[in-house]
Structure 1
Amino acid sequence: MLWWGLPYFAKTSWSEVFDVPGTVPPWKAALFIGLVVAGLYCYTFVMTGAMPGLSHTGALILNVCGSSVSNLLPGGGAVGLAATYSIAQSWGFSAASVTTMAVVTGVWNVLTRVALPIIAVLGLAWGATDLPTAMREAAGAAVLSGTAIVVIFAVAIGTDAGARAMGRAVDRLVRLVRHGHGDTVERALTGMRERTADTVRTGWLQMTLGMVGFFGLYYVLFLLCTETTGIELPFGQLFAAYAIGRLLTAVGVTPGGLGVTETGTAAALVAWGADPAASMAGVVLFSIFTHLMEIPLGAIGWLAWSIMPKASAQELADAETPA
């Protein structure tokens, strides 16, 4: 998808964009990195809202470490989840706390991603901009999938049967990626419904604002990347292309949706009349800072975790002891 699909759907070639990243001046590259770090810090509000007791520094380390693994491996989200468990539990957090955080932040992420195309469609319709059929279909799919997620989540935290079904699904995933540790997580999932409901009730506003800040700053970065490569489109159309890309990041066929995301975004830009080479260069530049940059940031995060103090054996045992 990245090597063949992206230039094919963007109606250009890699040779036309290879030199573009090298034209970005150092001050602008530093600005782009600053926006990425600021966006990741905004996301720490989502994680601290979903796991009381977690510091913003700890949340940032958890995020970049998990993301670096996810961005390196196909289906890396499962391995990233295992890394999140290992790091958080080394600080004394229980499997129950980490499981609740993973479930709640996962739902918040997906809901935000499916909301973006809906917002884009409303904005384009308000501005009387021609709306491609593909964009309307993407928004319709987002409405359906978003509604389904809300219903499933409400059932899971509202009924014991729903909570047990979700608990079994998460437990199977955890046992798949953390060999020999399934029993601990299975016990920790008891009472998950109450913990999840409490987390949503107390942290929903903080998590929502954190998501707005995260995706808002990344949209600013997207605007700057497209401006750097010479794309001239209305903000509404640029936001629609950005929304398509963020929705496609949920596709786990490639690491972090790499290739799929860029192809969808570039195809949308070209469909609205942007120059093909500029479109492809813009999405590649954006991907360099939002996808590839998380790998060295993750390496820094792993290094920071390795030198941070860890919980004692007694503290770990106490964390896993049911209250």
Structure 2
Amino acid sequence: MTAATEPADHGPAPATQRTSPFVRGLQVTLGLGLAVAMLWWGLPHFAKTSWSEVWHVLRTVPTWKAALFMGLVVAGLYCYTFVMTGAMQGLSHLRALILNVCGSSVSNLLPGGGAVGLAATYSIAKSWGFSAASVTTMAVVTGVWNVLARVALPIIAVLGLAWGATDLPAAMREAAWAAVLSGTAVIVLFAVAIGTDRGARQLGRGIDRLIRLVRRGHGSTVEDGLSGLRARTAATVRTGWLQMTLGMVGFFGLYYVLFLLCTETTGIELPFGQLFAAYAIGRLLTAVGVTPGGLGVTETGTAAALVAWGADPAASMAGVVLFSIFTHFMEIPLGALGWVAWSVMPKASADERAATDA
């Protein structure tokens, strides 16, 4: 999850452009409908099992293991705070955790909810007195680190499988090539954005359209922010890249441990390399925005990979569902706690917010 900031107000309160309620409602309906269809029909179909068999396996999970899984989720989210604090000076780990879970809870509820999540974290950070410049920089830098981490996982998986002389499915090779191309494109876009004023404006204009933060009149926008923050972004990468990288490794590493424990609990017996490959496919598919957080698509792709490598179908689907419960659905109540924590935390005064926007 990454954060974005609301542009500073330098005049009368402008109105925010919004998608029409009908179009937004249609998007939400279609996205949620697709997620339900993929989970209810697609997942058991491609995993070659049934939900009744899966529920039978899930009922055997002991309570102490569920508590352990929840602890790993919280630990992973805490590791991610190092990514956020490395990208924004003055942000504490507690506040970074609140920003993360609040934004993720929104993103996991709505198709294409990333834009709404960005706006939510934007408003929270501004209430603490952070400037538009600093939060916009964090949004860009952490966004790039997220994408690069997700596209790197299939590449690492392919190299590991090739080293182990394991047959590589065509889908896995194609995913690795797609990751290479996607990662290269992200690096090029990022370099252009922090290297040239024109590139920064073009990328900022695209982000404005994505998160619908464009305002009427002549107020500041993400486009203006990126153009004015090229030096700050470059400085952030130069000083914080190691902390952000280690935080990302810790986050995905702990989630992989959680994935291993979930699959072990449901009775999957596969080599670590193949399990990592299935995990990498799932993390890459979370970027699919047609359903909330890639829900349904992620689980189907991961379970299909496990079954293709010879894992028991019911155990595979149960393991994937168990992992999804903790990494997707449990972020929603965590987000609710985050909103409560934010509501009782001290806020910056109007003068302090005006000073940071100046």
TM-score between both structures, scaled by the size of structure 2: 0.87
Aligned counterpart, 1:236: 273
Rounded to whole Å, the distance in 1 between the matches of 2:102 and 2:75 is: 16
Q: Secondary structure at the match of 1:279?
A: helix
Say if 1:154 and 1:178 are closer, same or farther in 2 by CA, change over 3 A: closer
1:253 maps to amino acid: V
**Aligned match for 1:73, one of 107, 110, 118:** 110
Shift of 1:98: 1.3
Contact 1:171-1:182 at 8 Å conserved across structures: no
Q: Secondary structure at the match of 2:155?
A: helix
User: Structure 2 matches for 1:56-67, cutoff 5 A?
Assistant: 56-67=93-104
Are 1:248 and 2:289 counterparts? no
Contact 1:49-1:203 at 8 Å conserved across structures: yes
Rounded to whole Å, the distance in 1 between the matches of 2:141 and 2:353 is: 23
Q: Secondary structure at the match of 1:205?
A: helix
**Aligned match for 1:108, one of 116, 124, 145:** 145
Are 1:185 and 2:221 counterparts? yes
Contact 2:213-2:221 at 8 Å conserved across structures: no
Rounded to whole Å, the distance in 1 between the matches of 2:291 and 2:216 is: 27
Rounded to whole Å, the distance in 2 between the matches of 1:182 and 1:105 is: 28
Q: Secondary structure at the match of 1:4?
A: helix
Contact 2:263-2:319 at 8 Å conserved across structures: yes
Contact 1:49-1:207 at 8 Å conserved across structures: yes
Contact 2:102-2:336 at 8 Å conserved across structures: yes
**Aligned match for 1:136, one of 173, 189, 197:** 173
Shift of 1:179: 6.5
Say if 1:139 and 1:189 are closer, same or farther in 2 by CA, change over 3 A: closer
Say if 1:180 and 1:34 are closer, same or farther in 2 by CA, change over 3 A: farther
Aligned counterpart, 1:89: 126
Are 1:223 and 2:263 counterparts? no
**Aligned match for 1:170, one of 207, 210, 216:** 207
Aligned counterpart, 1:272: 309
Rounded to whole Å, the distance in 1 between the matches of 2:251 and 2:83 is: 9
Say if 1:218 and 1:63 are closer, same or farther in 2 by CA, change over 3 A: same
Contact 2:303-2:317 at 8 Å conserved across structures: yes
Rounded to whole Å, the distance in 2 between the matches of 1:20 and 1:182 is: 58
Aligned counterpart, 2:194: 157
Higher mean C-alpha deviation, range 70-79 or range 179-188: 179-188
Aligned counterpart, 1:37: 74
Q: Secondary structure at the match of 1:18?
A: helix
Contact 1:91-1:311 at 8 Å conserved across structures: yes
Are 1:281 and 2:318 counterparts? yes
**Aligned match for 1:21, one of 58, 69, 73:** 58
Say if 1:212 and 1:181 are closer, same or farther in 2 by CA, change over 3 A: farther
Say if 1:182 and 1:65 are closer, same or farther in 2 by CA, change over 3 A: farther
**Aligned match for 1:98, one of 135, 147, 151:** 135
Aligned counterpart, 1:126: 163
Rounded to whole Å, the distance in 1 between the matches of 2:74 and 2:236 is: 26
Contact 1:82-1:178 at 8 Å conserved across structures: no
Rounded to whole Å, the distance in 1 between the matches of 2:100 and 2:108 is: 12
1:37 maps to amino acid: V
Q: Report the RMSD for the aligned CA atoms in angstroms.
A: 1.4
In the alignment, structure 2 segments of 5+ residues that lack a partner are 1-37
In the alignment, structure 1 segments of 5+ residues that lack a partner are none
Contact 1:95-1:185 at 8 Å conserved across structures: no
Are 1:302 and 2:351 counterparts? no
Rounded to whole Å, the distance in 2 between the matches of 1:281 and 1:250 is: 22
CA offsets, 1:217-238, max 9 Å, x none? Answer: 0000000000000000000000
CA offsets, 1:268-302, max 9 Å, x none? Answer: 00000001111000000000000000000000000
TM-score between both structures, scaled by the size of structure 1: 0.96
Contact 1:78-1:177 at 8 Å conserved across structures: no
Shift of 1:190: 4.1
Rounded to whole Å, the distance in 2 between the matches of 1:49 and 1:94 is: 16
Rounded to whole Å, the distance in 1 between the matches of 2:160 and 2:48 is: 27
Contact 1:95-1:184 at 8 Å conserved across structures: no
Higher mean C-alpha deviation, range 2-11 or range 229-238: 2-11
Aligned counterpart, 2:238: 201
Q: Secondary structure at the match of 1:183?
A: coil
1:273 maps to amino acid: G
Equivalenced residue count is 320
